Structures are given as structure tokens and as C-alpha cells.
Amino acid sequence: MRSVELFAGAGGLAMGCELAGFEHLAVVEWDKWACDTVRENQRRGYPLLASWSLHEGDVRSFDWSSIPQDIELLAGGPPCQPFSIGGKHKAQADNRDMFPATVEVIRRLKPKAFIVENVKGLTRATFANYFHYIQLQLEFPELPPIGDEDWIDHLKRLQVEKTSGKSKGFGFTYNVVPTLVNAADYGVPQKRERVFLVGFRDDLGVEWSFPEATHSYDALLHDQWVTGNYWRRHGLRMPDVPAKLATRVAKLKQLKTQLRSLPWRTVRDAIYDLPDPESHGALKVPNHLFQPGARSYPGHTGSPLDLPAKTLKAGGHGVPGGENMLVREDGSVRYFTIRESARIQTFPDGYRFHGSWSETMRQLGNAVPVMLGQRVASSVAEKLAIAELSRLATVKIGKGREIA
């Protein structure tokens, strides 16, 4: 199935889509360092990237006429800074807002489906009207702003169109499903909340909902403090149950039915077999160099070993914030290495990152976890395949009637 990737960054969502069976006709990213990461892996022959046609530059400057219409998927994560809790919160007034550019590409290519990812901050009450505006633009991409129409007037016009219901199911419209998810609920060893906007073209008749979660915190607590399997798996003695968890663990012990979900994956699960970055053995592992200077301060206390990592951040001053740290068992902190951060973002070990530590951590902080991207893209691919089989069956029946 054919696809294009916008705002590809270091390739997390693009790799997830590739693993789900999509073939990228174009992978577009403006940042030189992120493109260098993709190019380095292509030079090294990394198999998933072999067919990628990488274009370094602005998505608004790309020649989209070179891509056929009616491709299966458009995917991408527009820059999140306009909506990030750590940013300036300028939303539509921020010139980094690339949602209008995303809608323009959808309007040109008419993909059968799209996957758009962004930060949880987009769902804040402050941005409620603009978030609604984004959804309506994605739903009605053939109704762009007229002349110098501002976004508020455009929103009102789109709301009228939505209320009338005249366009739905006719012409070029999408059924858009917005979902806020925690990556930890899908096997990613990181508590990373992100919003996904997934749309299917209305003419396909697809009904889709976000995949059900596969992992849970309760299952982790059960694994740690009820059965003790977690500690045995890591060759450790089971500690005493923390007082703050005693009541919750007691309830889990009383469960009469087995939990259906898998345990959240922890930092320890993700990095258990990597050598200490300050040891000589670390030199044998690519991107696993120790980075000095970590310190804990209010609001930035690092990630405990036995929980999913806190959200990896891209940072705003050339280096990431203190949450990109590991809390050692003695309570001291150190920065995650690039390789550890890559595992937390579920990039495969064979994938190399290009640039300095702070630059590479920025790429990782902006990435979609590969495993989460694959999970979403696989569910989209499945629905598209079913829709295509239904279309072919209809065509076959129609031809049969003609012959008869």
C-alpha cells in the first residue's frame, strides 16, 4: 500500500507505517540533522529504509504533483511547539503551525486514510476552538479558506457545513476520529500521552476506532507485587510493597478473574541488557556514550527504573529537560544515553542516530514511538484491505450481472 510521510523527523512514525505494510513514495522532513539520521541508516543498508525517497525541505515546497492521487495513506506529526505545554502556546498564531499545510497536501493527494499525531497540549481548553477547527479542516479538506478569510470565519463556515450534513458521504470528505492515548498502554516503556487524528475517506464506508489498549498499570502492579514475577524475571529479590501502593495491591490480590492486559513495560525492562554507560563495555554499543551533567531539580526528577519512563522531551535550550534522566537505585540521577532513549521510543538497536547528544535527544524527544506507530498503522491497513476486498467483490458481482 502506497503512502507519504510528512514531518518525518528521525522516522519513528514512518518506520511504524513501513512495518505495517505501507510503502513510502515520499518522506519529507525539513530538519537537516533528522534527515542525516535517515540518510546514515540508508547508507548502512538498514532494510526498512531501503525504498524511502527522502526529501529535505518544507512540505509546502515539495512538488506533490509527482505523487499519484488516491494513495492509501498520508501520515505525519506536524510540529508540536505551538501546542506544547512547555512551549509559548501561540497555536494558530505560531508560524510553525503546519496543520494548514497538512490539510493542503490531503486536498491535493486525496489519500484513502491519514494518521496525524500531535501533543496532548492540543486538547487543552485554551486550544478547544482551534482543535475543533483542525478536525473540521481534516473532515472537509475541499473547503479551504476563501481569500484572506481568517480562521475564525473559516471555522464558522465549516461548522455550518458540518451541521447541514449535505457534504458527508459525497464528494471528498473524511470521517475523522480523534483519540488521546498513553503509549504505555500499547507496550511502549514510556508514559507518553499523544493525540491521534485518524481519518478515512467517506466513500470507503469504513468504521474505525482506535485499537484497544494491550498493557496496563494494574497488570504491572500485579506482576510486581502480587506474583513477584517481575522481580524474578530480572533476577532480583522482591522488595517490600511501598506503603502508597498497599491498598491498591490488596485489591489486586482479591481479584477472582485474571487480568487480560499485559504489564506496562518499565525502564528496567527496556534497558536491562545494556551495559552501564560508564563501563568499558558501553563502547561496544552504538549511541551508548555516557553524558555527564545530570541533576535533579523541582519539576525534573527523572524516571524510576521500575515504571515506564516519563515522557522524553525535546527541550527548548539545546539540551533536553531533566526528565530525560534515569533515577539509579541509590537515588542519584544520570542522563539516558541515546541508545537507552531509542529503546524507550522502541527504535530497533540497529538504527543509528546522527548528531550530537543534545541534537539526537531532540530528534528522539520529537519522535513517535515506532511500536505505537506500527499498532495504529496496522489497524488502518487492515480496514483499508477490507474496504478494497469489498470494492473488488462489488465490481465482480456487477460484471457478473452484465454477463448474465
pLDDT exceeds cutoff 50 at 330 = yes
Decide if pLDDT at 314 tops 90.
no
Q: Are 62 and 28 within 8 A, CB to CB?
A: yes
Start-to-end CA span in the chain (Å): 34
The rounded distance, in Å, linking the Cα atoms of 390 and 81 is: 41
Residue 142's pLDDT is 93
Residue 371 predicted with pLDDT over 90: yes
d(CA 322, CA 365): 12
CA distance 179 to 176: 10
What is each CA distance from 382 to 21, 202, 386, in whole angstroms? 10, 16, 6
**pLDDT at residue 318 greater than cutoff 50:** no
pLDDT band at 319 (very low <50, low <70, confident <90, very high): very low
Give the span between the Cα atoms of 288 and 352, in whole angstroms. Answer: 11
In sequence order, the β-bridge partners of residue 216 are 263
pLDDT band of residue 85 (cuts 50, 70, 90) is very low
| pTM: predicted TM-score of the whole model, two decimal places | 0.91
Domain architecture of the chain: domains with CATH: 2-213+370-394 (3.40.50.150), 216-260 (no CATH)
Q: What is the mean pLDDT of the chain?
A: 90
Quick: pLDDT tens for 259-301: 999 999 999 999 999 999 999 999 999 999 999 988 888 878 8
pLDDT (tens digit, 9 = 90+) per residue, 198-216? 999 999 999 999 999 999 9
Query: What is the C-alpha to C-alpha distance for residues 35 and 54, in angstroms, rounded to an integer?
Result: 8
